[in-house]
Structure 1
Amino acid sequence: MSDRPPVWRMVQEAVEKLGSPTTNKAIRDYILAKYGEVNEKTIACQIIICSVNHPSRVHYPENKRPRICNSRYDFLFRTGTGEVTRFDATIHGQWEMRLNAFGKLEVGQAISGPPDDPENDDDPTDEAGLPFALECHLRDFLEKNISIIKVDNSPLKIFRDHEGNAGIEYDTDVGRIDILAIDSANNLVVIELKVSRGSDRVIGQILRYMGWVKKHLAGERKVAGIIVACNIDDKLRYAASLLTDVMLFEYQLKFDLDRVALK
């Protein structure tokens, strides 16, 4: 019987020995050098499972129920694509897995702090939680129906990187991309969602993300940007009119309520 530790323990040991921050590649190389033949996909999966802020961790058996992230599997914090550090709740905040409005398990901070990026704030409302909730709903809807967005009459697909990470709330060194997609020619499309009025401030935000994607992911492929908002104002129209690679989309919500006849 093998006395080798489970792979998640190997990952934990690697991070302790390598120090933080470190990379997924360095963790994999450490494990292979010390323990020999270990399935590389299993190593990659265990890194995802043990990263408290990785959105894909909820798809694994260890994380299939709502809970606060304080178990033995909660010792990594994802700092960027392919990069992690040791999780420290006093630095990174408390994280949890919870059910969203659609009953879908998701990862999020248990205690909300100030917004990470003031550019994400559109129109303030009396109900402070409403814009965030609606943006989650819009993102979840587009994740399942990304093909309704068409570029050159061709539907988009959700991007996946070489580690299998889906392009939903995709972490970068310069912020989190709402949706990262690919078109029919395999070019990359950065999608930024605004739940209410689309301000021209979002131009700088999406160009920042597009620049990061071009440098780190695209290679020879083209990079385009799409801003989705309920209402595109004139300032944003003027700003976007000089950018050939940025497109604007407006969404509409329709809600009907019919009275039910009683017998």
Structure 2
Amino acid sequence: MMQINPSYYRIMAGAKSVFAQEFLEGGFIAANWNIDQDLTHALPDDWREFNHRFIPVYLNALPDKTKISAGLACGMLHTLSKGIKQGDIILTPRGDGHYLVGKVISDYYYVPSGELSHRRKVEWFEQTLPRELMSQELKNSSAAGTVCNLTKYAAELKTLIDGKETVEHLEPDEVLEDPTAFALEKHLEHFLVENWSKTELGATYDIYTEDGQLVGQQYPSDTGPIDILAISKDKKTLLVVELKRGRASDRVVGQIQRYMGYVKDELAEADQQVKGVIIALEDDLRIRRALSVAQNIEFYRYQLSFKLLKH
């Protein structure tokens, strides 16, 4: 039976869902991230403590990797092993346009079996979830990476899993003055990622990738996910991008500074600097004042354009 307020996670079953059938038949989810040891007694509640201990282990096993990839891998490993709770709901792409859906029914356990050594037992439901039924926002939300938290779409996912029609999602803390603008703005992040190379930022920076996978979208930090983490083409600068629908308030300056501090302290190499960019539809005097004394942060405005052409 599903708990009252479960969290929802997308868990990849290896590249191109190669382990999806094994997940289904074995009744589990699993991963490895090149940390080949039993973590039963090494899973603190705080993922930052876990990362500090295991990032060096990861980098020792894979010395060609960066702190960015190490931080992501260790964070995902902690989430799969400890952050996900019994009763939480798992969606795993099957590779054919459908998701396996199940409920976590055990704590972490270790099986020395290479790529699938860190495991959680899952009771898979009979029905699968067709991707085509999901709202576009939910489809766009699943950033690259093995583990993705989808709990912000809990209402839609519960509706879909219960076999009802899909629903539109609106974050409770978002108040949008213009619903027409919202319809276009809601896909801002996805649109920016898809068209990054055509933007002014794309001329200097690339969204961070690892082994061909996009990992710089919704990159986890200890104060919340970073919308976009990019790196300059000369590898000397890490860029934190914060996106705001509509008008940005001066509070976003403190927010992006926290993200930049995390990147500087936890991810940047000794020879790398950290910069920030805020992108919003509008600014005001308060944010301009705050940015005037904030180092290494720039502000960009985006424009909405909608046009009907008669043929």
Asked whether the two chains share a fold, i.e. TM above 0.5, the reply is yes
Q: Does the Cα contact within 8 Å between 1:24 and 1:47 map onto a contact in 2?
A: no
Gaps of 5+ in 2: 1-25, 58-72, 85-89, 110-117, 121-128, 143-147, 156-171
Alignment correspondent of 2:262:
212
**Higher RCO, 1 or 2 (CA under 8 Å, sep at least 6)?**
2
RMSD between superposed Cα atoms in Å? 5.0
SS at match of 1:202: helix
Distance 1:163 1:253, change over 3 A: closer
With normalisation by structure 2, the TM-score equals 0.52
1:1-263 matches, within 5 Å, as 8=30, 14-16=38-40, 18-21=42-45, 22=50, 47=77, 61=94, 65-66=98-99, 68-70=101-103, 99-101=134-136, 103-104=139-140, 106=142, 107=148, 108-109=150-151, 110-111=153-154, 121=173, 123-125=175-177, 137-150=187-200, 154-160=203-209, 166-186=215-235, 187-219=237-269, 220-259=271-310
Question: Which region of structure 1 is more displaced relative to structure 2, 200-209 or 136-145?
Answer: 136-145
Alignment-mate amino acid for residue 204 of structure 2 = P
Q: Does the Cα contact within 8 Å between 1:181 and 1:188 map onto a contact in 2?
A: yes
Alignment-mate amino acid for residue 101 of structure 1 = Q
Give me the whole-angstrom Cα distance separating, in 2, the residues matched to 1:202 and 1:185.
Answer: 28
With normalisation by structure 1, the TM-score equals 0.60
- Aligned-residue identity in percent: 30
Per-residue deviation at 1:237?
1.3
Give me the whole-angstrom Cα distance separating, in 2, the residues matched to 1:125 and 1:134.
Answer: 13
Per-residue deviation at 1:143?
1.3
Give me the whole-angstrom Cα distance separating, in 2, the residues matched to 1:14 and 1:134.
Answer: 47
> Per-residue displacement from partner, 1:194-237 (whole Å, max 9, x unpaired)?
01001111000000000000001112201000000011212111
> Per-residue displacement from partner, 1:76-111 (whole Å, max 9, x unpaired)?
9xxxxxxxx998xxxxxxxx9963417557351143
SS at match of 1:195: coil
How many residues matched?
A: 214
Q: Does the Cα contact within 8 Å between 1:148 and 1:155 map onto a contact in 2?
A: no
Give me the whole-angstrom Cα distance separating, in 2, the residues matched to 1:227 and 1:239.
Answer: 12
Give me the whole-angstrom Cα distance separating, in 2, the residues matched to 1:8 and 1:239.
Answer: 45
